[in-house]
Amino acid sequence: MHEYLRKKWFYFLLLLLALVFPLFGPSRLIFTMLILSGIWSIATLGLNLILGYTGQASLAHGAFFGIGAYAVGIMTTRLGLSFWIALPLASFLCAAIGFLIGLPTLRTKGAYFAISTLAFGIIVFIIAGNWSDLTGGHMGLPAIPRPNPIPLPLAGEISFTSPAARYYLVLFFLLLTLWVMHRVVFSLQGYSFMAIRNNENLAEAVGINTFRNKLLSFMVANFFAGLAGGLYAMQLGALSPFITHHVLTFNLIIYLILGGVATLAGPIIGAITVPFIVDALFAIGPYRMVIFGVLLIVSIIYFPRGLMGGLTSLWNRTADYYRHRKDGVRHAAES
Amino acid sequence: MELFFQQTINGIMLGSTYVLVALGVTMIYGIMRLPSFAHGHFYMLGAYITFFLITLYNFSYWPALILSMVVLFFIGGLVERIVFRPLREQSQISNFIAAIGILLFIEHMVTVIWGPHSHRIPNPYPEHIYLFGASVSQQRLIVILAAVVLIALLQLFIKKTVIGFTMEATAQDREGAALVGINVNRVSSLTFSIACALAAAAASLVAPIFVIVPGMGSLLVMKAMVIFILGGLGSIPGAIIGGYILGLIEALGGGYISSEYKDVFAFGALILILAIKPTGIFGKGAA
Amino acid sequence: MLLKVEALSKHFGGLKAVDGVDFHVNQGEIVAIIGPNGSGKSTLFNLISGTLRPTTGKVLFQGDEITAHKPYRVAALGIKRTFQTTTLFDQLRVVDNLAIGRRVNTKTGFWDALFRTARWRRERDETVGKVLELSGIIGLGDKFFDFVTTLSQEAQKRLAIGIALASEPGLLLLDEPTAGINMEETAEIIELIRKVREAGTTICLIEHKMRMVMGLADRIIVLNYGRKIAEGTPQEISGNQVVIEAYLGGKSIA
């Protein structure tokens, strides 16, 4: 345990920081942004499993996020279900739809898979905008209730009307997602995913049922897209069809790639930094998205492996430098 | 019957623009293995430049269209040079991100300059003519004819010129082409340029019929992707046939079934067809 | 009889890449398949391993029909293969490559990984042990944690064989295991193949280098234009007039 803490102290420090953060009394805006970043992180971690670890570029991730959001919205408003039941149901619904959509689409590879999942995403967007009886159509779905308070034995109850409570709720689910991803990625199951990403033909030749594994990865990824979507519905309290639009998928991919694909920290770094950068650009006025476009191009050219990749190679170079310096000293001492 | 005829003309006209855009996407993929998600935005930019030349500098329609193609030709080459060439060895997903950067840049630049609301290019040929008892606007027929001319010119260029031949060779075998001394960079640049010029032509041709808005290219590029996937990655005949078929399905489906859900049929069909034939209708072999 | 191939054919349009080939491999043998370029050797491997579906004919392994099984099912039954161009998981390390090669022997799935079940623990420890031992056998013990792109050409070839061996297959199909490396390195690969056979694995290999096959194989099968034109011991093949004419244009072998 001592050894474990020594190696992972940095992560525990970050966790501690995240836990005590609300005590500093941040503004409502910062709270909202952090809650949303937490939600994007969960969705991006899901995308990371199918795209980063399994190598299948799903462009339906935003659509599944939207399905999760609408499922929670519809279940809590029209069916009167509690949020605590609606959220897991919505997540499992996304995994199930992922299974059904995966059956045809995962038979295709590369760009074919990307475009056929994109086609599914566009269909979801059209349905969300036009099936008014279910989704409220283009007018959107208003008045999604806050989660029921959780009663506490001594101290009354946790009510989710305060941003701090929602912050901790999202943080809890983010840690849960991270835990699942950590366990799955660093296991023999994770090896199967990475084998498919690296060389699907060889993976098949060594005996991995690539279709089944891709389907599994797709379902888990979509489960977390749905979970994040459900939390989004809870945070916003209202939905518009644009939450299923492929622009959301593109945003999640940007968080993933700029943060660092196929790492566990990368999606979270991307989902926190990119929205804050975009927000900071608001000060520049009408040209902000023009500049964001340029930033995106420049960073993908100069940091193709994202911030995590950039940091890792910087860390390795620094470590190398010091090792060489030490070696240099030893050589000097020996000679 | 009148409705059928009119919708067929509309379908072929829509299909003409789809073909011109899908041809660009197909050529870029063929040469550079790059799904060009920003292509709809080059299309949009082409329409705006035509609009700009006509309204601000009082160009007449055809010179504006041709100049717009020329401008997009250079912009396309420039974009290939400064964005995609440095990313040549990177994964498709990195190129995808760069394409998103480009489309954000173009869309918001246009919004800043011309505003988010729609504009209209004055219709140069507003008269209608009567064909088989249905009235058809001249501009629609011009779109159809001009597209046919452009497609034919492109085919001639690829099949009959040395540069066209080197493009085809590069599309078939990039490494091999480099080995026999073809300048792959130049071919890529040229391909991107031609693809963008075609998109500008398509947009400028239909702009007098519809309105122009900064977001006009985003759904179009998705349809071009569908065509290019169904046609089989990088197959030019596939893109031509696929483009016309999609235009007809949309116009007839929209006219007879349901206009809200017409795209659902198109995109749903894509998923089903790929489920049966994972490499597209005209595709051969694995991806 | 471990592997039995009966009247196996594969036609691509009008081209008969493999045309009615019969052969078998006995337990413990090294069988070599030789033939000029385009004689259908690799196609034959692809048919056995399930990468291609045969037009007609049968493949039997340990008496059970495995014709047109998917590649992963063929591998799960105990037939492992390598590819003509060295094929590895090149984003990963040596240890990862070997562990993935052994994945077919383990059943750890999503829930096992999530809850770290007894099976997860047992299979993880077992995989680490076996893979460590195997890395020694293929001579990569000191490169256990190295990324495969840092390995030499010849080490990569040994690793490719290691990936196939990791699941302790009943039959190993090697597609030109020494293509593109020099004489000295070839000798090391041959040494490895012998060692593998002595450990009890049956081997069927495609080869170009005549000299190597002559000293290594128990039996040789010669293909030409998709048809089997001869079969026998190395001595019989090197004296076979049909083979000499078809394969070497009249020059004597070895």
Domains and CATH numbers, chain C: 1-78+169-254 (3.40.50.300), 87-168 (3.40.50.300)
Confidence check: pLDDT of A303 > 90: no
| Selected residue with higher pLDDT from A54 and A261 | A54
Q: Which residue among A112, A253, A297 sits closest to B229, beta carbon to beta carbon?
A: A112
| Residue B284, in any domain of the structure | no
Return the pLDDT at A305. 79
Instruction: Count Cβ–Cβ pairs < 8 Å, chain A vs chain B.
Output: 136
Q: Which residue among C91, C103, C108 sits closest to A206, beta carbon to beta carbon?
A: C103
Q: Band of the pLDDT at A78, cuts 50, 70, 90?
A: confident
Confidence check: pLDDT of C129 > 50: yes
Contact between B241 and B5 (Cβ < 8 Å): no
Which pair of structure tokens corresponds to residue A173?
Answer: 């689910």
Specify whether A128 is located in the same domain as A272: yes
* Residue A217 Cα, gap to closest chain C Cα (Å): 9
Closest residue in A to B229 (Cα) is: A112
H/E element holding A70?
A: helix A61-77
Stretch A26-47: mean pLDDT: 92
Which residues in chain A have their CB less than 8 angstroms from residue B109's CB? 290
| A106/B contact by beta carbon, under 8 A | no
Q: Average pLDDT over chain C, rounded to whole?
A: 89
Q: Which residues contact B179 (CB under 8 A, 6 or more apart)?
A: none
Contact between A206 and C104 (Cβ < 8 Å): yes
Closest residue in C to A185 (Cα) is: C113
Q: What CATH number does residue A61 fall under?
A: 1.10.3470
Stretch B56-75: mean pLDDT: 91
Residues within 8 A of B (CB atoms), A 297-326 only? 297, 300-301, 304
Confidence check: pLDDT of C132 > 60: yes
Question: d(Cα C107, Cα C225) in Å, to the nearest integer?
Answer: 42
Stretch A268-276: mean pLDDT: 92
Is the Cβ pair A300, B87 closer than 8 Å?
yes
| C112/A contact by beta carbon, under 8 A | yes
| C45/A contact by beta carbon, under 8 A | no
Is the Cβ pair A204, C103 closer than 8 Å?
no
Backbone angles phi, psi at C204, to 5 degrees: -125, 125
Specify whether A129 is located in the same domain as A64: yes
- Domain enclosing residue B175, as ranges: 17-217
Number of other CB atoms surrounding residue B72 within 10 Å? 28
Q: Which residues contact B150 (CB under 8 A, 6 or more apart)?
A: B20, B198, B201
Q: Band of the pLDDT at B284, cuts 50, 70, 90?
A: low
Question: d(Cα A215, Cα B174) in Å, to the nearest integer?
Answer: 33
Query: Over B16-52, what HEC string results?
Result: HHHHHHHHHHHHHHHHHCCCCCCHHHHHHHHHHHHHH
Burial class (CB in 10 A: 0-12, 13-18, 19+), A283: exposed
Confidence check: pLDDT of C252 > 70: no
| Residue A93, in any domain of the structure | yes
Stretch C78-84: mean pLDDT: 93
Return the pLDDT at A323. 65
The beta strands (E) that lie in chain A are given as: 150-152, 156-158
> Widest CA span of chain C, in angstroms?
66
Instruction: Report the DSSP beta bridge partners of residue B129.
Output: B136
Question: d(Cα B15, Cα B8) in Å, to the nearest integer?
Answer: 10
Specify whether A185 is located in the same domain as A328: no
Stretch B179-208: mean pLDDT: 90
Instruction: Count Cβ–Cβ pairs < 8 Å, chain A vs chain C.
Output: 96
Stretch B19-33: mean pLDDT: 89
Which pair of structure tokens corresponds to residue B280?
Answer: 């597209």
Range among A115-124, A224-233, C86-95 with highest mean pLDDT value: A224-233
Which residues in chain A have their CB less than 8 angstroms from residue C76's CB? 207
Q: Average pLDDT over chain B, rounded to whole?
A: 85
pLDDT tens, B223-249?
888 888 887 777 888 888 888 988 888
Closest residue in B to A296 (Cα) is: B101
| Residue A17, in any domain of the structure | no
| Selected residue with higher pLDDT from A220 and B98 | A220
Any chains having at least 3 CB pairs less than 8 A from chain A are B, C
Least confident of A206-215, B3-12, C117-126: B3-12
Any chains having at least 3 CB pairs less than 8 A from chain C are A
Contact between B260 and A130 (Cβ < 8 Å): yes
CA angle A321/A324/A328 to nearest 5° reads: 135
Confidence check: pLDDT of C187 > 50: yes
| B183/A contact by beta carbon, under 8 A | no
Return the pLDDT at B282. 67
Any chains having at least 3 CB pairs less than 8 A from chain B are A
CA distances to A15, A149, A170, A229 from A175, in Å: 9, 21, 9, 16
Q: What share of chain C is helix, strand, coil (3-state, %, to 5)?
A: 45, 25, 35
* Residue B133 Cα, gap to closest chain A Cα (Å): 35
CA distances to B188, C24, C170, C190 from C202, in Å: 50, 12, 6, 14
Residue that has been written with the tokens 């890529």 in this structure: B188
Return the pLDDT at A335. 44
Return the pLDDT at B287. 35
Question: d(Cα B263, Cα B253) in Å, to the nearest integer?
Answer: 9
Q: Band of the pLDDT at A325, cuts 50, 70, 90?
A: low
Return the pLDDT at A177. 96
Q: How many domains does chain B have?
A: 1
Confidence check: pLDDT of C167 > 50: yes
Q: Band of the pLDDT at C253, cuts 50, 70, 90?
A: very low
Residues within 8 A of B (CB atoms), A 145-164 only? none
ipTM above 0.95, yes or no: no
Question: d(Cα A228, Cα A234) in Å, to the nearest integer?
Answer: 10
Return the pLDDT at C49. 93
Confidence check: pLDDT of B166 > 60: yes
| Residue A233, in any domain of the structure | yes
Specify whether A328 is located in the same domain as A241: no
Q: What percent of chain A has pLDDT over 70?
A: 95
Confidence check: pLDDT of A124 > 80: yes
| Residue A315, in any domain of the structure | yes
Least confident of A248-257, B179-188, C161-170: B179-188
Least confident of A222-231, B80-89, B195-204, C97-106: B80-89
Spatial CA neighbour of C160 closest among C48, C83, C240? C83
| Residue B287, in any domain of the structure | no
State yes or no: chains C and A have 3 or more CB pairs below 8 A: yes
Is the Cβ pair A198, C112 closer than 8 Å?
no
Return the pLDDT at A93. 97
Which pair of structure tokens corresponds to residue A17?
Answer: 């920081």
- Domain enclosing residue A245, as ranges: 27-150+157-304
| Residue A75, in any domain of the structure | yes
Specify whether A200 is located in the same domain as A86: yes
Which residues in chain A have their CB less than 8 angstroms from residue C168's CB? none
Specify whether A219 is located in the same domain as A328: no
Q: Band of the pLDDT at B285, cuts 50, 70, 90?
A: very low
Confidence check: pLDDT of B196 > 90: yes
Q: Average pLDDT over chain A, rounded to whole?
A: 87
Specify whether A290 is located in the same domain as A173: yes
Q: Band of the pLDDT at C168, cuts 50, 70, 90?
A: very high
| Residue B12, in any domain of the structure | no
Specify whether A184 is located in the same domain as A328: no
Q: Which residues of B132-148 are buried (b: 16+ CB within 10 A; e: fewer)?
A: eebebbebbbbbbebbe
| B83/A contact by beta carbon, under 8 A | yes
| Residue A11, in any domain of the structure | no
CA distances to B64, B74, B273 from B54, in Å: 6, 20, 43
Confidence check: pLDDT of A327 > 70: no
Stretch B130-159: mean pLDDT: 85
Contact between C200 and C29 (Cβ < 8 Å): no
Question: d(Cα A214, Cα A68) in Å, to the nearest integer?
Answer: 21
H/E element holding C199?
A: none
| Residue A6, in any domain of the structure | no
Least confident of B93-102, B111-120, B176-185: B176-185
Question: d(Cα C101, Cα C58) in Å, to the nearest integer?
Answer: 27
- What is the DSSP pairing of strand C171-175 with strand C79-81? parallel
| Residue B258, in any domain of the structure | no
| Residue B280, in any domain of the structure | no
| A277/B contact by beta carbon, under 8 A | no
Confidence check: pLDDT of B263 > 90: no
Specify whether A87 is located in the same domain as A134: yes
Specify whether A76 is located in the same domain as A184: yes
| Residue A238, in any domain of the structure | yes
State yes or no: chains B and C have 3 or more CB pairs below 8 A: no
Specify whether A94 is located in the same domain as A211: yes
Return the pLDDT at A29. 86
* Residue A123 Cα, gap to closest chain B Cα (Å): 5
Is the Cβ pair A115, B35 closer than 8 Å?
yes
Spatial CA neighbour of C163 closest among C84, C104, C77? C104
Which residues in chain A have their CB less than 8 angstroms from residue C103's CB? 188, 191-192, 195, 206-208
Instruction: Report the DSSP beta bridge partners of residue C231.
Output: C221
Specify whether A185 is located in the same domain as A57: yes
Is the Cβ pair B108, A115 closer than 8 Å?
no
Upper half-sphere CA count for residue B194 (Cβ side, 13 Å): 24
Burial class (CB in 10 A: 0-12, 13-18, 19+), C8: buried
Confidence check: pLDDT of C254 > 70: no
Range among A212-216, A301-305, C66-70, C145-149 with highest mean pLDDT value: A212-216
Return the pLDDT at A112. 84
